[in-house]
Structure 1
Amino acid sequence: MKVLVLITKMDRGGAETFVMNYMRHFNRDVIQYDFLVNRQEPGAYEEEIQDLGGHIYRMSPMYPQYFARYKREFRAFIREHPEYRIIHSNLEERSYFPLRIASEEGVPVRIAHAHNVYRGVNPKMVFRDYFRFRLPPYVTDKFACSLQAGKWLFGNGVLSDRRFKIVRNAIEVDRYAYRPKVREDLRMRLSLGQRLVVGNTGRLTGQKNQAFLMDVFSAVKKVRRDAVLLLVGEGELKRSLERKADELGIRSSVIFAGSVPDVEDYLQVMDVFVFPSLYEGLPLSMVEAQAAGLPCIASDRVPRSVKLTSSVSFLSLEDRPEEWADKVLRSADSKRCDRRDSVRQGGYDIRDAAPKLQDFYLSALNRTGAQAV
């Protein structure tokens, strides 16, 4: 059975890594993911997708000036590819366009997946609200990484909606196990020695709030002059963050590692994980950091359901950077423990989660009475 996954671009972001984690652990003799992306340039995961037997199709971007073109292209694509009886859209509110067309063209299973909880007042929110309120009639199944994300995309009544399902941002838990030798080797390669390493993984975007993290780290440096800030990820704000580090006088102590295929190794290097996001659905980065046994400090904008272990603390973004810094310094003294069992008990082991999603696809198609082509 082929499932068509809709997503913007298969780079190393949270939703994209979620998809790859499941794809790697499906029985691909039973379920195969193919991808329809909205970017012409290749994404970081595309070579692996092809190695796993998946196909990648490209379509025009989903910007307002391209909406009409996208709708024409998508309708033509669905008519040319009747083999896709299940569409799993990770485009959130923009799922309105393809899932409405898929409904009109008779695709029997149409999944919209919520990965985030958006906040703020800006032109993008006008579009987001317009489309998310019009999405539900065209959805057969509603997925979300958390209840908060589900409420944002589908409304407050999701818990009583039989179409709603929380699908965990599951990971290969054992891959993140604490490995002192990896920590030692990578610290040597990065010339870190025994320095205090404050870490963060995620796109360098406004949502992830690394600018505030710079202020926190600047306060940490006043107490621990040996401290280093390790940022793992790429994004449009990299240059502005570099400028801010220069302005704060901490540039020589900030490592921009970029997008890396071995995030689990970089987590070994860290002493404390700090995640001051402005909004989140349920961050996969926090699940990974907990599996790696790191003490984690997150903003109060992150859903509390991400707390799978006792190593997680929440602070308000209204608190001063110095208050965050004090928590960072106290957390860094914590003994690193193996917390993988807690992550598994929370339902975040991909070895358990992938078969459940695979079974869902099969039962969803059977439910409609349709046949795989």
Structure 2
Amino acid sequence: MTSRRLRILYVDESNAVGGAEKYLKMVLGYFSRFHDTYLSHPDDDAHSRFYAELPTAFIPCRPEHYRRPAALFRHYLKIFRTLRPDMIHANLPDPSSCRTALAAAFCAGTPAVTVTNHLPNLTYPRSWRGKLVGKSMWDWFVWRIVFGIVDTSIVVSKASARSLESNYPAEKDKICCIYNGVDIARFNFGDTGQARRVRSDFGVADDAVLFCSIGRLEQQKGYEYLLSAMQQLVARHPHVKLLLIGDGTLLRELKTLALQLGIEGQVIFAGARSDIPELLSASDIYVNSSLFEGLPFSILEAMAAGLPIIATGVDGNREIVVDGETGVLVRPRDPDNLAQEMRNLVEAPERRAAIGRNARELVVRQYSQESMFRETENLYRRLTEPRGADAASGLRPVKE
């Protein structure tokens, strides 16, 4: 821990709860034990319920403020001048989030400013004039100001570091790669009866191969390609099942698609769930069909549960899924390729068991929650202690 107790303000401006918010909840749950923490978040039921159990001070922000930049700026400026935090840590589910909070932090003279940029592979909006030169000059101007304010941008994968450097005016020496981590102990399974009970609740036979996928039902996750692949797989293996865990704006559309494909009996829409370890314990194979990613907690948790992974070879997926060892990489937007690899693992139970063991060993070795917290604490120390006070606590270098 740092040599003194810090006052840290965390900022969340997300419009939904997903992996980025899960990251923030984990970080807050840990650092609230050692520092005085505060969280500004949208004042709605979803966020309030999600963060309710945290031992932190909440500063809800009225939803209409997010549509009125001047009111939002005054909201943040009042917080900074009242709390006088040692640091702001803004959580960015997309790169455009929290820009007003960062500007207010600068105007209030907040000593340290850091952000976690989960998806820097999302590029900024481009104006018609900007398209003539390949970039929006206005956006570039705004981003130059924003990145001038930020002391350090945390990214969750090396792929994200490269995206941040190429898509935005971020200086390389201000980028810090800290991999997401999981609580390994939550995925130590010993009760096989529990898995049988879960499968029974969903009407899945003990001898059926159950695929599982976790994520918001949104365009990013590419679920239409997964359902198309399931249609092909069911033609050869009619007893396979797919458990989709999550909620989102595409729920009705995906249910309709499953019906049109004739696989409504093989696809289980489980909705948003909190019992993820139990659901993974009942599954046989984890599948990710995303079009882009940061470093998905869902894949890390499935690996911790000892499941073989089938994932699209995008962004951070390529860093945690070692093709042929801890999982199988497939092309995004290619249901034929996805169906083939799903079938290969269905037909090779010994191979998928070996891949699952390798996956868990990798997570235990490299992606623990403890490692993520330790490196984040080192960063906090570097940003808040006098320059040179602890040379050993510098940034984790981004290596190619």
- 2-structure distance, mates of 1:228, 1:129: 47
Is the alpha carbon distance of 1:205 and 1:78 closer, same or farther for their aligned partners in structure 2, counting shifts above 3 Å?
A: same
- 2-structure distance, mates of 1:212, 1:42: 28
For residue 14 of structure 1, what is the aligned residue in structure 2? 19
- 1-structure distance, mates of 2:298, 2:122: 20
> Are 2:193 and 1:181 aligned?
yes
1:230-241, aligned counterparts within 5 Å? 230-241=243-254
Query: Letter of the aligned partner of 1:112 in structure 2?
Result: V
Is the alpha carbon distance of 1:340 and 1:10 closer, same or farther for their aligned partners in structure 2, counting shifts above 3 Å?
A: farther
> Are 2:238 and 1:225 aligned?
yes
Q: Displacement, 1:18?
A: 1.5
- 2-structure distance, mates of 1:47, 1:129: 37
For residue 170 of structure 1, what is the aligned residue in structure 2? 181
For residue 87 of structure 1, what is the aligned residue in structure 2? 88
For residue 319 of structure 2, what is the aligned residue in structure 1? 305
- 1-structure distance, mates of 2:30, 2:124: 39
State which drifts further: 199-208 or 187-196.
187-196
SS for the counterpart of 1:87 is: strand
Is the alpha carbon distance of 1:220 and 1:129 closer, same or farther for their aligned partners in structure 2, counting shifts above 3 Å?
A: farther
Q: Displacement, 1:241?
A: 0.8
1:1-373, aligned counterparts within 5 Å? 1-9=6-14, 12-26=17-31, 28-43=32-47, 44-49=49-54, 53-61=55-63, 65-82=67-84, 84-91=85-92, 92-119=95-122, 131-155=142-166, 161-179=172-190, 180-194=192-206, 195-303=208-316, 304-307=318-321, 310-317=325-332, 319=334, 321-332=335-346, 333=349, 334-335=352-353, 337-338=356-357, 339-346=359-366, 348-367=367-386
SS for the counterpart of 2:249 is: coil
Q: Give the alignment's TM-score, normalised by structure 2.
A: 0.81
For this pair of structures, how many residues does the alignment match? 363
What are the ranges of 5 or more consecutive residues in structure 1 without an aligned counterpart?
Answer: none
Matched-pair contact (CA < 8 Å) for 2:140–2:169: no
Is the alpha carbon distance of 1:117 and 1:223 closer, same or farther for their aligned partners in structure 2, counting shifts above 3 Å?
A: farther
Matched-pair contact (CA < 8 Å) for 1:35–1:56: yes
Query: Letter of the aligned partner of 1:315 in structure 2?
Result: V
SS for the counterpart of 2:97 is: helix
Q: Give the alignment's TM-score, normalised by structure 1.
A: 0.87
Q: Displacement, 1:178?
A: 4.4
What are the ranges of 5 or more consecutive residues in structure 2 without an aligned counterpart?
Answer: 1-5, 128-134, 389-400
Q: Displacement, 1:14?
A: 0.9
TM-superposition CA deviations, 1:284-314 (whole Å, max 9, x none) = 1111111111111111224311226822211
- 2-structure distance, mates of 1:64, 1:38: 9
- 2-structure distance, mates of 1:94, 1:130: 16
Query: Letter of the aligned partner of 2:195 in structure 1?
Result: R
Is the alpha carbon distance of 1:128 and 1:64 closer, same or farther for their aligned partners in structure 2, counting shifts above 3 Å?
A: farther
- 1-structure distance, mates of 2:83, 2:371: 31
Is the alpha carbon distance of 1:132 and 1:159 closer, same or farther for their aligned partners in structure 2, counting shifts above 3 Å?
A: closer
Matched-pair contact (CA < 8 Å) for 1:12–1:259: no
- 1-structure distance, mates of 2:187, 2:57: 29
Q: Displacement, 1:54?
A: 0.7
Q: Displacement, 1:116?
A: 1.3
Q: Displacement, 1:42?
A: 4.1
Aligned residues: CA RMSD: 3.0
Query: Letter of the aligned partner of 2:259 in structure 1?
Result: D
Matched-pair contact (CA < 8 Å) for 2:216–2:247: yes
